[in-house]
Amino acid sequence: MDKKQGIEYIQDYLNDPENNLTRREIIDILSDENGKYKIPEKTAYRWFKLAYEENEWQHPRNHTDKATEDKELAIQTVRDLLNVALTNEDEEKSVEYASQLLKLHKLARSF
């Protein structure tokens, strides 16, 4: 088994929704001295890393609606706290909440 075949083999496991094997189990399959492939363990780990990175690039994880709702709730909560601080003319809290609100907006846009 060469590098390309090894990476494709690992990706088949990673893309299989019925696969319950851990990384260690996949490495053990590839590096078993009495097994079919007999790949050195360090090489199997390198191939797994490459296959995993390529799989993440090809199939990025989708953010759930729950995550979006949580972000919106956090932004709304900080916005409400900022409005209360502005109403009470608490300048120190206003600056703190405004800073947090900007950070949350920036974080929300990065997803």
Residue 50 shares a structural domain with residue 95 = no
pLDDT in tens, 52-96: 888 888 776 665 666 777 778 888 888 888 888 889 988 898 888
pTM of the model: 0.51
What domain range includes position 97?
65-110
Residue 48 shares a structural domain with residue 23 = yes
Residue 95 shares a structural domain with residue 52 = no
Closest among 108, 4, 110 to 54, alpha carbons compared: 4
pLDDT in tens, 30-58: 888 887 888 898 999 999 999 988 888 87
Residue 47 shares a structural domain with residue 71 = no
Model confidence at 111, pLDDT cuts 50, 70, 90, reads low
Alpha-carbon distance 77 to 65, whole Å?
A: 18
Taking the CA of residue 100 as centre, how many other CA atoms within 13 Å lie in the half-sphere pointing to its CB?
Answer: 16
Residue 76 shares a structural domain with residue 41 = no
Residue 76 shares a structural domain with residue 53 = no
Residue 72 shares a structural domain with residue 105 = yes
5/66: higher pLDDT: 5
> Which DSSP string do the residues of 41-78 spell out, in sequence order?
HHHHHHHHHHHHHHHHHHSPPPPPHHHHHHHHHHHHHH
What is the widest separation between alpha-carbon atoms in the chain? 74
> By the 8 A CB rule, do 102 and 78 touch?
no
Domain count, the chain: 2
Residue 7 shares a structural domain with residue 42 = yes
